[in-house]
Structures are given as C-alpha cells and as structure tokens.
C-alpha cells in the first residue's frame, strides 16, 4: 500500500499510541497529511515542542463526542485510526456515564462521520478487556467493537470499510503498571493484587506495526488479534525491583486474574495465521469472511487467554522489555 498520497487522521493522537504511530508515519511512510485530533491543547502543544511539528501535520482541537466537529475534521481524509478512549478501569467504574459517552457514543460518532465523509478505511483500537468483560471499561470497548463490525452493513455502495485491532497491555504506556512499580521501587515495597495474575503484553512499537499492517490488509468487519506473549505480574514486579518486598492487596473491583484475547464463542469464527488471529464477522455475508480461505480454523473449545498462552516472557525477557522505561525513569524523564 502506498501511503504517500493518503490523508490520515488519528483520534486520540496525543496519547501514547498516537504519538508513536504518528512518528512512525512521518519517519517511514510519509503520508501527504496527518491530522492529530484530540481535545487537549496543552498535549498538542507539547507534541510540537517534542519535535512532532512536521509540515504535513495538522492539529485539530476536538472531542469525539462532538459529531459536527468530527464531520469537519474528516473531510478529505482517507484513513482514520480511532485511538481515543477513556481507558482507566477505576475511572470508568467511578464515572460510568462519561465512559459510555466517550467509548460508545464517541465511537458511533466516528463511524457516522466516516461514512458521511467517505473515509475509505477506519480502524479502531480495542483491548483484551473487551472479551467477556468484567468491568465497565471492557463493556464499553466491546460495544465499540460491535459498532465497528456491524456498521459495515451501512456502507452500502460506499467505499468505507471498518475493522478493529485488539491486543493486550502496552508496556510503559499511560495507565500501565510499569510506571507504578518504578515509583514504588524507592519505598522498597511493591503492591500486586494477586500473585497468580497474568497479562498479555505488547510493546508500543509492536502495537503500532500491527495496526499499520491491519490497515493495509483489512477488508471490513474483522477483529485482528496479534499473537503476543504473557507474563506474570509477580515476575514483572521482581524484574523491576528484585530486592523489594511484594505486598498482595487483593483483586480490585473490575479486575480479573487472567485476560482473554479470543473467547471460545469467538473462536468458531476465527482463523489462525503464523503471527495473528482474525475474528471474522459472525453470520454476515458482506466483507471480512474470506480470511478462512488462507487461515487455519481453530479447534472446538479453543480460547486464547493469558494463562493458556504458549509464549511466555521469563525474567530476562521482561527485563529486556522494560529496560527503556527504567532508563528513562532513572533519568527523570516522563
């Protein structure tokens, strides 16, 4: 796919993913224009000060709750990456109406604006917490996924295609436990909710590369799931502060011991490739069903969870993954 003549817009473009995605686009893919769409003028200003002030960049102040502003921003756009969301589990639990307005109604606005403006490809970024959700954040992301998949039926004769990517925790991103452990390290005590807890982990670089690949290959209606390693949260704490005491505080409301990336029910419509799964739209006759020609059907009863994963990060692997964040933290960088 040739990106050089494309206009790309990123909702939530000032977040951890957005900044990395935009930097990668500028350095390697050179689209004609990249629009950073977000609601925080300070973060946009800080992005420009950090060196992300390329002539092809445009900074739009706007909230995905504002449909009219999205319609204005989407004019002439070829590709939308939808990364804007409220994603802190405790914050969503405490502010449920706000989570619904941003993660569900905001996603509907993105879809409506994209369809009306004739955007060709729209890819939403989802999370493992959307699978059999146990907290409100997961519920809102599941609803957003369903909206993106099913809204392909509204495309009609339009070229617009919509799909999702779904992956696990991003190491070192805002909301990650890594900065929390790094701060706790000085006290000599780290808090872990349960010593059995496991999580899927992916680096920001891997997440961005996967999203770019999915945009290039999406047909509409799919949920793309990368094969990524699991790690024990206890091992992560040990890797960050091997001398520290670990205090177990108990699972918080809305938290689960292990995460799912593909449920048993979804697996019936999913196909496997060497480095990813593609969950095809269920029972739909439009796009996104022909992946099964190339992939391998999953066995009956299959599910992809962080505790039954075949790929694990040991202590050395964890240390290697978090090394850049430890170095930045020790230097006093955010």
| 73, 95 Cβ separation under 8 angstroms | no
CA 317 to chain centre: 22
- Residues annotated as catalytic (active site), given as ranges: 129
Closest Cα partner for 67 from 118, 124, 97, 107?
107
DSSP structural state of residue 332: T
Handedness of CA 323, 84, 223, 72 (dihedral sign): negative
Cβ count within 10 A of residue 211: 22
Q: Which two tokens stand for residue 299?
A: 């066995």
CB neighbour burial string for 77-94, b if at least 16 within 10 angstroms, e if fewer: bbbbbbbbbbbebeebee
- Rounded CA gap, 7 and 35, in Å? 8
């Amino acid at each position: 796919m040739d990106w050089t003549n494309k206009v790309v817009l990123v909702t939530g473009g000032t977040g951890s993913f957005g900044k990395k995605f935009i930097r990668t686009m500028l350095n390697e893919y050179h689209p004609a224009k990249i629009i950073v769409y977000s609601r925080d003028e300070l973060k946009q200003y800080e992005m420009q000060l950090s060196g992300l002030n390329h002539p092809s960049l445009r900074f739009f102040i706007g909230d995905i709750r504002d449909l009219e502003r999205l319609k204005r921003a989407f004019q002439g756009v070829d590709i939308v990456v939808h990364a804007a969301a409220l994603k802190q589990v405790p914050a969503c639990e405490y502010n449920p109406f706000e989570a619904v307005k941003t993660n569900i109604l905001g996603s509907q606005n993105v879809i409506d604006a994209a369809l009306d403006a004739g955007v060709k490809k729209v890819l939403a970024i989802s999370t493992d917490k959307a699978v059999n959700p146990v907290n409100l954040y997961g519920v809102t992301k599941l609803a957003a996924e369903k909206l993106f998949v099913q809204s392909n039926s509204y495309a009609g004769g339009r070229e617009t295609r919509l799909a999702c990517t779904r992956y696990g925790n991003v190491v070192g991103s805002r909301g990650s436990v890594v900065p929390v452990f790094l701060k706790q390290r000085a006290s000599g005590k780290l808090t872990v909710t349960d010593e059995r807890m496991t999580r899927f982990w992916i680096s920001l670089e891997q997440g961005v590369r996967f999203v770019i690949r999915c945009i290039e290959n999406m047909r509409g209606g799919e949920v793309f799931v990368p094969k990524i390693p699991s790690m024990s949260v206890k091992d992560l704490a040990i890797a960050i502060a091997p001398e520290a005491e670990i205090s177990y505080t108990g699972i918080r409301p809305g938290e689960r011991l292990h995460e799912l990336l593909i449920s048993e029910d979804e697996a019936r419509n999913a196909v496997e490739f060497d480095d990813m799964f593609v969950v095809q739209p269920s029972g739909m006759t439009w796009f996104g069903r022909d992946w099964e020609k190339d992939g391998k059907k999953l066995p009956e009863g299959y599910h992809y969870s962080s505790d039954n994963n075949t790929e694990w990060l040991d202590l050395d692997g964890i240390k290697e993954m978090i090394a850049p964040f430890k170095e930045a933290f020790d230097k006093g960088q955010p």
